[in-house]
């Protein structure tokens, strides 16, 4: 069945470091892919999305490219800030089914 696998955390970085959080997926067909962010004490917020192969989603300096050949959707940011400390979830939604599959989440800690 469909699923999402993302790297385990926590990931600890210094401010201004480069961030990569890996996400790979298993799906039949062509799902939509998402990254969500959850700040402490809050719900999940949509960070970015991509709906077809080679699409690049971007928001707030974060980027992720839909790579069908490697079934990946890695999250990147060139220079992280302390305010980026949160839990990041990769997710997919199959094109023809109203379902959502979330990864287990990766906690990011950014130190000043």
Partner 1 sequence: ETGVTQTPRHLVMGMTNKKSLKCEQHLGHNAMYWYKQSAKKPLELMFVYNFKEQTENNSVPSRFSPECPNSSHLFLHLHTLQPEDSALYLCASSQESGGGREQYFGPGTRLTVT
What is the binding site for partner 1 (CB under 8 A)?
31-32, 34, 36, 41-46, 49, 51, 89, 93-100, 102-105
Closer CB to partner 1, 19 or 105, in the complex:
105
Closer CB to partner 1, 79 or 104, in the complex:
104
DSSP characters over the chain: --EEEE--S-EEEETT--EEE-EEEE-SS--EEEEEEE-TTS-EEEEEEE-STT-EEEETTEEEE-BTTTTB--EEESS--GGG-EEEEEEEE-TTS---EE---EEEEEE-
Minimum CB separation of residue 14 from partner 1 in Å reads: 26
Minimum CB separation of residue 79 from partner 1 in Å reads: 26
Closer CB to partner 1, 9 or 17, in the complex:
9
């Amino acid at each position: 069945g469909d699923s999402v696998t993302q790297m385990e955390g926590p990931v600890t970085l210094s401010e201004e470091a480069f961030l990569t959080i890996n996400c790979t997926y298993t799906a039949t067909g062509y799902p939509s892919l998402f990254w969500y962010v959850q700040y402490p004490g809050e719900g999940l917020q949509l960070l970015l999305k991509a709906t077809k192969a080679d699409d690049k989603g971007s928001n707030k300096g974060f980027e992720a490219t839909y790579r069908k050949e490697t079934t990946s959707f890695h999250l990147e940011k060139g220079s992280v800030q302390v305010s980026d400390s949160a839990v990041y979830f990769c997710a997919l939604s199959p094109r023809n089914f109203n379902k959502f599959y979330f990864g287990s989440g990766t906690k990011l800690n950014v130190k000043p």
